[in-house]
Chain A
Amino acid sequence: MASHSAVLSVSRFMSPFWGGHLGNTVKVFGTTLTSHRTKVTLTRENIPPPAKYGGRHTVTLIPGDGIGPELLNHVREVFRFSCVPVDFEVVHVNSALETDDDMNNAITAIRRNGVALKGNIETKHTLPPSVKSRNNVLRTSLDLFANVMHCQSLPGVQTRHKNIDIMIIRENTEGEYSSLEHESVSGVVECLKIITRNNSLRIADYAFRLAREQGRQRVTAVHKANIMKLGDGLFLQCCREVASGYPDITFDSMIVDNTTMQLVSKPQQFDVMVMPNLYGNVVSNVCAGLVGGPGLVPGANYGQVYAVFETATRNTGKSIADRNIANPTAMLLASCMMLDHLKLNGYASLIRNAVLTTMNETRLHTADLGGQGTTSEVVQSVMRVIQSKGQLISEL
C-alpha cells in the first residue's frame, strides 16, 4: 500500500511537466488507483491498528517549534498518568537546517509506526525558497490527502456565535500548495495551482463517506469557479459526481467570498464543508476564530494508510513559547483523536471528558480565552478529573 502512495505522488508531480510523454503511464496509475479503491474500502475503521506489540502502540512524536514541545510534553504526562498503552518515538526536526535529513527521518518513522502526533514546524523565511515548508513536505510525502477539522461551540467558552457545529474537510496535498513557482521573466512570478481529477474525486469521496458515517445531512463545496473555471470547475464537477452516489445527503456549493461572509453572520447554516487547499486554510481559520480561537480545535490529517494529528490551525506560537500560557486543549483533543484512531476509545473518552470538564465546568481558562490559568494548571486539573473517575492511574 505504501508503494501505491509513493507512486501516486510521483505521477502527480511529474505529469504537468511531461505532458503527453507520461500520458500513458498516468492512465495506468489511474486505473491502478481506481481498482485499488474498489478493492479495499478504506474508511477509518478498516485501517489496521499499526505498530502494536504486547498490547502497546508506538506513535511517532514530532515536537516542532514554538509551543509544540511543551504541549507535547504535557500530552505525554497525561498519557503516562492515565496509563495509556502508547509509547512515543520522539523525532526532532531542526527547522533552521537546510538539509532534508531530519524530515526524511521523521517521515520514515511515521511510515514505520503509521500514526503520528506533531507540533508545527516553523518555516524560516531567511532560508532560500528552494527549502520547502517542512509541514507541507510531510503531508505530500505521506499523501495525507484529507485534513479534517471539526469546529464545535463549547458551552464553557464565551463566543459571539453559539451552536456552531461545522466539519471542514480540506484537500491537503495539491491546489495552491503545490510549491511550484518560477520566475521566467525577471519581476514576473508564476505560481501553479494544480487541481486533478483523481485527488478531487478522492477528497469528495472521503467527505461524503465521512458525512454518512457521522450522520450529517448536508455537504457544501466551497469554490471560486466563476473566476477559476477550469480548476475549481473540475473540483466542483468531481464533487457533484460523487454526490450523485449519496442521495441521502444534500449537496450544494457556495463561492468562497460569500461563504466567508455567511460564516461571520450566520455560521449555524453550515454542516459539512469540502474544499481545495487554500480555501480550506482560510475557512478553517475563520471557523476556529468563531468557536473560540486556535487553542481549542484539534485537526487530523488522514491518508490511505497514515494518520497525523495536530492542532487544527497549525500555529507555531513562537511569541508565547515556554511561558506556560499556551492553551493545551487543542493538543490534548488531538491526542484523543489519535487514541480513537488506534481504537483505544475508552482512554480517548476518558481524556476528552476530562478536558471538556475542565473547560466547561471548572472554567479554568488560559490567557487566549481571557482567563488567568497557566498551562500546567489546566493539565493538573485534567489529571485530577481523570483521577476522580477512579480508573487505574500511575502514582506521580
Chain B
Amino acid sequence: MVFPPPARYGGRHIVTLIPGDGIGPELADHVQKLFRFCCVPVDFEVVTVDSTMASEDDISNAIVAVRRNGVALKGNIDTNHNLPPSHKSRNNLLRTRLDLYANVVHCQSVPGVRTRHRNVDIMIIRENTEGEYSSLEHENIPGVVECLKIITRKKSLRIADYAFRTAREKGRRRVTAVHKANIIKLGDGLFLECCKEVASGYPEISFDTMIVDNTTMQLVSRPQQFDVMIMPNLYGNVVSNVCTGLVGGPGLVPGANYAEDYAVFEMGTRNTGKSIANCNTANPTAMLLASCLLLDHLKLHAYASMIRGAVLSTITDTQLHTADLGGKGSTSDVVQSIMSAIQSTGPHTLGAYNKHIL
C-alpha cells in the first residue's frame, strides 16, 4: 500500500490534531511537546470539537481538516447521553464520513509490564464502518426497538483484502475470522464467505474461523494461539478490549484507522478517561505509540523508531509506571523520562529550550 506523503511543504508535514475530551487534550499536549523537543518535521493543525453542542459544525470542520491534510491524530470525543438519540456519536461520524474502513490494533506483550499472560502478539483488524454501528434504529411500536446490523459484500471483501495484504506484508502466518454465523446466518455468513474468497488468493497464509464466544474464552486461557484476527465491528470492539486488557490495559495500546486516502491515529480502546482527566495520572504510552504509527505512516521512520525506542525503554522502568500499571508515576514524569532517553541517544534535540518550555 503506497500512500503519497500528504501535505508536505518545505519538508514539513501538517497533521490534523483533534484533542477530544477527558485525557485527550493533555495527552495531545504531551505529544506536541515531545515532537517539538525531537525536532520532528510535523506541524499540528488543532481542531477542537465541542461534544456538548448538538450541531454538527465542529465535527464537519474536523472532517474537512482531515481531508485537507490526509492524516490525523485524535483523542476520543465524548458522546453526551443527555442529547437526543438523533445526535450520533462524533467518533462514529468521523469514521464513516472519511470511510476509515480498517481499524488496526496490534496487541503485544510489553517486556516491562507484568501481566498474567506472556508472549501475546495479536493483530486485530476490525471492520470500522458498518455492522452494528450503522446507527440505524427505529421504534415502530412503542416498546419494541429494532436495530439494524448491516453487512455488505463490498465492505466485507474490502476488509478481508486489507487483512490478508497486511498479514502478507508483516510476514504473518495465520488469519482467524471471528463471527457468529451459527445464529446470524445471513449476515456473518456473508462476512465469512467473503473472507474465504479472499483467503483463496493467499495460499501461504492459513485461514480459519472461530465463533466469537469461543474466541473470547480462548483469549483468556491461551491467547498465544492467535496471530491475525479479522472481524465485523462489534466483535472487533469486544475482542480488541479483551486483548488490550490481556497485555496491560488501555494505557498501552495504540490504534490506527485506515481509509484509501486517509489515516487517523488514536488510542486502541478509544477511552475518554473522564475520571482521570487533568490529574496528571494518565498513561501517555498509548498516545505516544499512536504518534509513532503516525510518523511511520508519513515515512518518517527514523523519528518513529527513536520515539518508540524511548517509550519502550521507559516502560521497562517500573518506578515510572503510572497508576493504571500499578505504579505511582505521573504523566509528566514519564514524558520527561522519554525526553531524557531521546536526548541521551544523541540526535538533535531542543536542548536549550528544555528549561523554559517544560
Q: Which chain A residues have a beta carbon within 8 Å of chain B's beta carbons?
A: 15-16, 19-20, 23, 26, 30, 123, 125, 129, 133, 136, 160-161, 176-177, 179, 181-183, 186-198, 224-231, 233-234, 256-258, 260-265, 278, 281-282, 284-286, 288-290, 293-294, 313, 315
23 contacts between A and B (CB under 8 A): A15-B141, A19-B141, A20-B141, A125-B182, A133-B182, A181-B185, A182-B186, A187-B154, A188-B151, A189-B152, A192-B149, A193-B132, A196-B144, A197-B143, A225-B81, A226-B89, A230-B138, A231-B147, A263-B245, A264-B246, A281-B212, A282-B216, A286-B220
Chain A residues with CB under 8 Å of B151's CB are: 188-189, 191
Name B223-248 residues within 8 Å CB distance of A. 234, 237-238, 240-242, 244-246
Contact of A176 among B137, B182, B184, B271 (CB under 8 A): B184
Chain B residues with CB under 8 Å of A258's CB are: 241, 271
Most chain B CB within 10 A, of A15, A233, A261, A263, is at A261
B213 touches A230 (CB 8 A): no
B237 touches A285 (CB 8 A): no
CB distance from B253 to the nearest CB of A (A): 10
With both beta carbons as reference points, the residue of chain A lying nearest to B130 in the complex is identified as A188
A26 to B92, CA, bound (A): 35
Which 7 residue pairs across A and B have the least CB separation, nearest first?
A197-B143, A187-B153, A264-B245, A289-B220, A229-B85, A289-B217, A230-B137
Interface size class of B (residues with CB under 8 A): 35 or more
Chain B residues with CB under 8 Å of A261's CB are: 241-242, 244-245, 249-250, 269
B143 touches A198 (CB 8 A): yes
A176 touches B146 (CB 8 A): no
Contact A195:B145 (CB < 8 A) given known A181-B185, A290-B220: yes
A183 touches B147 (CB 8 A): no
CB distance from A183 to the nearest CB of B (A): 6
A230 touches B150 (CB 8 A): no
Contact A123:B182 (CB < 8 A) given known A261-B245, A294-B217: yes
Query: Does B219 make an interface contact (CB < 8 A)?
Result: yes
CB distance from B82 to the nearest CB of A (A): 12
Contact A264:B85 (CB < 8 A) given known A181-B186, A191-B149, A227-B135: no
Chain B residues with CB under 8 Å of A177's CB are: 183
A181 touches B147 (CB 8 A): no
Chain A residues with CB under 8 Å of B169's CB are: none
Contact of B213 among A23, A233, A293, A313 (CB under 8 A): A313
CB distance from B168 to the nearest CB of A (A): 26
Contact of A282 among B92, B137, B144, B213 (CB under 8 A): B213
A231 touches B137 (CB 8 A): yes
Query: Does B52 make an interface contact (CB < 8 A)?
Result: no
With both beta carbons as reference points, the residue of chain B lying nearest to A179 in the complex is identified as B183
B184 touches A191 (CB 8 A): yes
A179 to B190, CA, bound (A): 15
A257 to B246, CA, bound (A): 13
A230 touches B245 (CB 8 A): no
Most chain B CB within 10 A, of A26, A177, A257, A290, is at A257
Query: Does B214 make an interface contact (CB < 8 A)?
Result: yes
Task: Digitize B164-195: 1 where CB-to-A-CB distance is under 8 Å, 0 elsewhere.
Answer: 00000000000000001111111101100000
Query: Does B148 make an interface contact (CB < 8 A)?
Result: yes
B92 touches A227 (CB 8 A): yes
Contact A288:B217 (CB < 8 A) given known A15-B141, A176-B149, A194-B144: yes
Query: Does B344 make an interface contact (CB < 8 A)?
Result: no
CB distance from A205 to the nearest CB of B (A): 15
Contact A190:B150 (CB < 8 A) given known A16-B141, A19-B140, A264-B220: yes
Other A-B contacts than A191-B149, A192-B148, A261-B250, 13 sampled, CB-CB below 8 A, are A123-B182, A129-B189, A176-B180, A177-B183, A189-B151, A191-B150, A191-B187, A224-B234, A228-B137, A231-B137, A261-B269, A264-B245, A293-B217
Chain A residues with CB under 8 Å of B137's CB are: 228-231
A196 touches B145 (CB 8 A): yes
CB distance from B192 to the nearest CB of A (A): 9
A196 touches B143 (CB 8 A): yes
A230 touches B269 (CB 8 A): no
Chain A residues with CB under 8 Å of B184's CB are: 176, 181, 191
Query: Does B218 make an interface contact (CB < 8 A)?
Result: yes
CB distance from B250 to the nearest CB of A (A): 7
CB distance from B326 to the nearest CB of A (A): 10
B144 touches A191 (CB 8 A): no
Query: Does B133 make an interface contact (CB < 8 A)?
Result: yes
CB distance from A330 to the nearest CB of B (A): 13
B186 touches A286 (CB 8 A): no
A189 to B192, CA, bound (A): 13
Contact of B245 among A15, A262, A293 (CB under 8 A): A262
CB distance from B66 to the nearest CB of A (A): 21
